[in-house]
Amino acid sequence: AMEGGPSARIREGDCAVLKRDEVFKAVSVLRRRKIIFEKQWFYLDNAIGHIYGTTFEVTSGGNLQPKQEVEETTTETKEAGTDNRNIVDDGKSQKLTHDDIKALKDKGIKGQEIVQQLIENSTTFRDKTEFAQDKYIKKKKKKYEAVITIVKPSTRILSTMYYAREPGKINHLRYDTLAQMLTLGNIRAGNKMIVMETCAGLVLGAVMERMGGYGSIIQMYPGGGPVRAATSCFGFPKPFFDNLHEFPLSKVQSLLSGTFSTETLPADPEDNALVEEESNGLSEEKQSSLQETEEEPATEAPMEISPAEEQDTMDINAEDVEFKENKEKENKENVREKQIKQWERRKKLKEAAALLREKNADGLIVASKFHPTPLLLSLLEFVAPSRPFVVYCQYKEPLLECYTKLRERGGVINLKLSETWLRNYQVLPDRSHPKLTMSGGGGYLLSGITVVLEKGKSDSSNSEALKMEEPSSKRCKLQDLPC
Amino acid sequence: MSFVEYGDTIKDGDTAIVFLGHESMFPVKVQHGSVTQTKYGVIRHSTDLIGKKYGSKVTCSKGGWVFILHPTPELWTMNLPHRTQILYSTDISIITMMLELKPGSIVCESGTGSGSLSHALIRTVAPTGHLYTVEFHQQRAEKAREEFREHGVEHLVTVTNQDVCKNGFGVSNIADAVFLDIPSPWEAIGHAKSALKAEGGRICSFSPCIEQVQRTCLAMEESGFTEINTLEILLRVYNVRTVSLQIPDLGKAAEDNSSAGFDSSSPSHQGSSCANLQQGTVQFKSGVPLREVVGHTGYLTFATKS
């Protein structure tokens, strides 16, 4: 079930991620397809066949060319000032005008040369300190040197990308918080996991990556079908989906009470699912990207169309042609196909229900826009004893309530409400410090371990458990520190 | 049981976690005829543990009870015998994600130390991956080997007793990721590079001091690593408490209090906060930070070989 590491080459049809500095964008690799990324347009054709991790330059005509390692020739004299006491901001230090620069760009001159010209035409450059010169060059390079690295998608890259570009779609789940969830949930090959998320399928994808195609996952979904836009960006091999099941949240109660039946489903679940999916994911996606472009005209639409969507449009086009050719036959086949699809859907639903009924799942992961308490109280029923569970919430308060309700219910121990802080550093000789900005919030986690739930005498044991588990704030000892 | 596979019932030879209460637990090696002392009395392995379900409540001789839990790398980290300073789950989780580890990954690690990270790495790369871990302290290396055997994961790990700075990892062009937790990681960057696959991979170095980070970053740059990025992750734990605050007496008449901003009758306030006007207090639920928390473990520097 394994596929190669970072070694693999870029192939047509792959899901890949473009990277420029700290900015990512997920794309599918297709020939003759214009990509717009960071205000630049290009084709991916020339990238096909290269190893993932290769850095490319954008040449005129939108072609990609692997970047050659060039010796830095920027400051041959290495002249520099010691302080800025004589540097005056008169706005005239740069002798090149906006029009000059635009002309250079229009001529198709390489970014590297533009940077060199900017340096040569800066009257204050030589008076700047060595550090300031360094900073100046870096800033200009970032602006004029169009280099793009194509990397293989991973949880690391996709969770960073989503948090930066579309935090609203993943309920502001920061990547380090997601990392905590995977570890606290003991996600690994061979598990039988229950996942309930409304994070565009990012959490599902992260769980799938850690399970490597071994074991099974039951995805609980609200509405007509699960949203997996982010999941499709991972580019998982087909076998990874063989043991991925889905079950509608709206049927959980009937499953628990024993009245569940696939016959009670709406007449045509397939159609419903498609409609719902559209309103849940796709159209919403378009809407939000529209809003974003309105607010900030400079930024492009947040993300490439996911490969799955593209597949859809392509299929529809193909169908269109066929449709005209033999309408009648198609119609009959359509009805039949629909019946087969519906039958298959029922079969899959029955399988998922059977897996849940065993009540022996190896863990529960919840990361959704819904209130976590009712989800936990119901879904924990499907989890075996001595297994971890993790709930994410963007806000702390619902988790406070969830904590209290779980205590009342019993059957859980080692409950922990936590949050992580993430700080990035600039590390340069004599210039090391924390980065200027850090993320204000990446959400909260409530985690714990299930135990055998003793029904009936739960009252007395609960109060005892509560007492027993009450953490004494006086006793918080500082863990032995390194150094 | 094994550290890479769940089992339902407790068996002879298992490592189980005895859970006594909040943050109070310890590991126990389950053996026929063996007994374990707890503050709630004695646990007899043959009758109290073997054959019972993991997650069961076990009544001890004095009438008190404990829970018996299936081992996981996270529970092991909280309970393992320290032979060195160890990495905790907060750092481990970001290391695992940023190194892009998954089933099938080949990882090199040094030093092995107490095996806290090792267990988590093995869990993640199983069943088809492998961990090559290097520990220069002979006794620690031997102890780690013994633990891996006991935990049923020895087929997924190779422990080598040598100095990683001098002799490297003992493998080349094989790893998807390298992790360093040694005092002078900059001396091992070259070895790390040759341990990684020719096509590339990820590296992480953990250091408590910024001077160590500085030298490591320079060494990484000189060795041609890219995407060099240093970060720090901190865990904040909250105690869930019901807090009551007194309503100040501003000399108003009792009936006026209801207009003072506290609505005791509104059902929407129940559970989150509620005012008790008779007693003159307002109650609410709060997540209270611990009085003292870990402020720094170490800097994590990540980079890519490509």
Q: Which of B55, B71, B87 is the last residue of a domain?
A: B71
Same domain, B216 and B67: no
Q: Which domain holds residue B25?
A: 9-71
User: Quick one: which of B276, B277, B279 has its CA closest to B257?
Assistant: B277
Same domain, B102 and B67: no
Token pair 């009540």 is found at: A359
Question: For residue B57, which residues of chain A lie inside 8 Å, CB to CB?
Answer: 451-452, 454, 461
Q: How many CB atoms lie within 10 A of CB A400?
A: 24
Which of B39, B121, B199, B273 is best to mutate for the A interface (most A CBs within 10 A)? Answer: B199
Q: How many CB atoms lie within 10 A of CB B264?
A: 15
CATH of the domain at B118: 3.40.50.150
- A211 → chain B, closest CA residue: B103
Name the DSSP class of A94.
B
| Start-end of H helices in A410-478 | 458-469
CA distance B279 to chain A (A): 24
| Start-end of H helices in A49-154 | 98-106, 111-120, 130-144
Helix axis angle for A175-184 and B89-98, nearest 10°, is 110
Instruction: Evaluate whether residue B16 is within a structural domain.
Output: yes
| B294–A478 C-beta distance less than 8 A | yes
Query: For B122-132, how does the pLDDT look when each residue is reduced to its tens digit (9 = 90+)?
Result: 999 999 999 99
- Confidence (pLDDT) at A81: 82
Amino acid at A380: L
- Confidence (pLDDT) at A478: 38
How many whole angstroms separate alpha carbon B71 and alpha carbon B55? 11
Q: Is A69 on the interface with B (CB under 8 A)?
A: no
Classify B149 as helix, strand or coil: helix
Identify the H or E element spanning B37: strand B35-38
- Confidence (pLDDT) at B255: 55
Q: Is A309 on the interface with B (CB under 8 A)?
A: no
| A419–B236 C-beta distance less than 8 A | yes
Q: What are φ and ψ of residue B190, in 5° steps?
A: -60, -45
- Confidence (pLDDT) at A44: 93
Q: Which of B47, B71, B95 is the last residue of a domain?
A: B71
How many whole angstroms separate alpha carbon A62 and alpha carbon A41? 6
B163 is in an annotated binding site: yes
Q: What is the pTM of this model?
A: 0.85
Distance of CA A373 to the CA centre of its chain: 25
- Confidence (pLDDT) at B113: 97
Instruction: Evaluate whether residue B243 is within a structural domain.
Output: no
Question: For residue B290, which residues of chain A lie inside 8 Å, CB to CB?
Answer: 473, 476
Closest by Cβ to A183, choosing from B93, B200, B237: B93
Same domain, B123 and B43: no
| B287–A399 C-beta distance less than 8 A | yes
Same domain, B154 and B218: yes
CA distance B84 to chain A (A): 10
What are the structure tokens assigned to B237, written together? 């734990």
Digit-by-digit pLDDT tens for chain A (483 residues) are: 344 444 589 999 999 999 998 899 999 999 999 999 988 889 999 999 999 999 998 887 788 888 866 555 544 557 888 888 878 888 888 888 888 888 877 777 777 788 887 888 888 888 888 888 888 888 877 777 778 999 999 999 999 999 999 999 999 999 999 999 999 999 999 999 999 999 999 999 999 999 999 999 999 999 999 999 999 999 999 999 999 999 999 999 999 999 998 765 544 444 444 444 434 433 344 334 333 333 333 333 345 444 444 444 444 444 455 555 667 777 888 899 988 988 988 999 999 999 999 999 999 999 999 999 999 999 999 999 999 999 999 999 999 999 999 999 999 999 999 999 999 999 998 899 998 776 778 999 999 999 999 875 444 444 444 444 444 433 333 333 333
Same domain, B46 and B137: no
| A179–B124 C-beta distance less than 8 A | no
Which of A188, A387, A444 is best to mutate for the B interface (most B CBs within 10 A)? Answer: A188
| A5–B197 C-beta distance less than 8 A | yes
Question: For residue B127, which residues of chain A lie inside 8 Å, CB to CB?
Answer: 189-190, 214
Question: For residue B288, which residues of chain A lie inside 8 Å, CB to CB?
Answer: 473
Token pair 């559970």 is found at: B271
Same domain, B132 and B198: yes
Instruction: Evaluate whether residue B155 is within a structural domain.
Output: yes
Q: Is A66 on the interface with B (CB under 8 A)?
A: no
| B72–A481 C-beta distance less than 8 A | no
- Confidence (pLDDT) at B114: 97
What are the structure tokens assigned to B264, written together? 């005791």
CA distance B33 to chain A (A): 24
Closest by Cβ to A183, choosing from B89, B229, B232: B89
- Confidence (pLDDT) at B18: 97
Instruction: Evaluate whether residue B38 is within a structural domain.
Output: yes
| B213–A432 C-beta distance less than 8 A | yes
| Start-end of H helices in B164-302 | 164-167, 189-195, 210-222
Query: For A324-340, how does the pLDDT look when each residue is reduced to its tens digit (9 = 90+)?
Result: 566 777 788 889 998 89
Length of chain B: 306
Beta carbons of A158 and A230 less than 8 angstroms apart: yes
Could you tell me the domains of chain A? 7-69+79-152 (3.10.330.20), 158-260+346-450 (3.40.50.150)
What are the structure tokens assigned to A78, written together? 């290495």
C-alpha R_g of chain A:
28
Same domain, B28 and B52: yes
Q: What are φ and ψ of residue B109, in 5° steps?
A: -140, 145
B115 is in an annotated binding site: yes
| A423–B234 C-beta distance less than 8 A | yes
| A182–B6 C-beta distance less than 8 A | no
Which of B40, B93, B101 is best to mutate for the A interface (most A CBs within 10 A)? Answer: B93
Which of A149, A150, A183, A214 is best to mutate for the B interface (most B CBs within 10 A)? Answer: A183
Q: What are φ and ψ of residue B249, in 5° steps?
A: -90, 110
Beta carbons of A140 and A115 less than 8 angstroms apart: yes
Same domain, B160 and B32: no
Helix axis angle for A397-409 and A372-379, nearest 10°, is 30
| Chain A with chain B: Cβ pairs closer than 8 A | 228
Same domain, B33 and B52: yes
Instruction: Evaluate whether residue B273 is within a structural domain.
Output: no
CATH of the domain at B41: 3.10.330.20
What are the structure tokens assigned to B173, written together? 């062009």
Closest by Cβ to B287, choosing from A183, A413, A417: A417
Name the DSSP class of B295.
-
Beta carbons of A160 and A175 less than 8 angstroms apart: yes
Q: What percentage of residues in chain B have a pLDDT greater than 90? A: 84
Same domain, B60 and B101: no
Query: For B147-170, how does the pLDDT look when each residue is reduced to its tens digit (9 = 90+)?
Result: 999 999 999 999 999 999 999 999
- Strand-pair category, A363-367 with A192-197: parallel
Closest by Cβ to A420, choosing from B199, B209, B233: B233
Same domain, B61 and B17: yes
| Exposure string over B78-105, b if 16+ CB within 10 A, otherwise e | bbbeebbbbbbbbbbbbbbbbbbbbbbb
- A427 → chain B, closest CA residue: B214
Question: For residue A156, which residues of chain B lie inside 8 Å, CB to CB?
Answer: 97-98, 100
- Confidence (pLDDT) at B258: 54
How many whole angstroms separate alpha carbon A41 and alpha carbon A18? 12
- Confidence (pLDDT) at B1: 78
Question: For residue A414, which residues of chain B lie inside 8 Å, CB to CB?
Answer: 19, 22
- Confidence (pLDDT) at A324: 56
Average pLDDT for residues B51-72, to the nearest whole number?
94
CA distance B98 to chain A (A): 6
- A210 → chain B, closest CA residue: B102
| B212 pLDDT tier (thresholds 50, 70, 90) | very high
- Confidence (pLDDT) at A320: 53
Instruction: Evaluate whether residue B246 is within a structural domain.
Output: no
How many whole angstroms separate alpha carbon A13 and alpha carbon B32? 58
Q: Count how many domains chain B has.
A: 2
- Confidence (pLDDT) at B263: 55
Q: Is A396 on the interface with B (CB under 8 A)?
A: yes
| B98–A432 C-beta distance less than 8 A | no
| B299–A425 C-beta distance less than 8 A | yes
- Confidence (pLDDT) at A140: 79
Instruction: Evaluate whether residue B3 is within a structural domain.
Output: no
Q: What are φ and ψ of residue B284, in 5° steps?
A: -150, 160
Q: How many CB atoms lie within 10 A of CB B212?
A: 21
Q: Which of B71, B99, B118 is the last residue of a domain?
A: B71
What are the structure tokens assigned to B13, written together? 């030879």
B135 is in an annotated binding site: yes
How many whole angstroms separate alpha carbon B207 and alpha carbon B214? 10
B181 is in an annotated binding site: yes
How many whole angstroms separate alpha carbon A397 and alpha carbon A419? 13
- Strand-pair category, A55-59 with A147-151: antiparallel
- A5 → chain B, closest CA residue: B176
Question: For residue A236, which residues of chain B lie inside 8 Å, CB to CB?
Answer: none
- Confidence (pLDDT) at A77: 56
Half-sphere CA count of A68, side-chain side, radius 13 A = 6
Q: Is A403 on the interface with B (CB under 8 A)?
A: yes
Same domain, B228 and B81: yes
Which residues are CB-neighbours of B192 under 8 A, at least 6 positions away?
B108, B169, B178, B180, B203
Query: For A148-160, how does the pLDDT look when each residue is reduced to its tens digit (9 = 90+)?
Result: 999 999 999 999 9
Instruction: Evaluate whether residue B271 is within a structural domain.
Output: no
Question: For residue B104, which residues of chain A lie inside 8 Å, CB to CB?
Answer: 2, 212
| B71 pLDDT tier (thresholds 50, 70, 90) | very high
How many whole angstroms separate alpha carbon A115 and alpha carbon A136? 10
Q: Alpha carbon of A366 to those of A198, A227, A254, B244: distances in Å? A: 9, 15, 20, 31
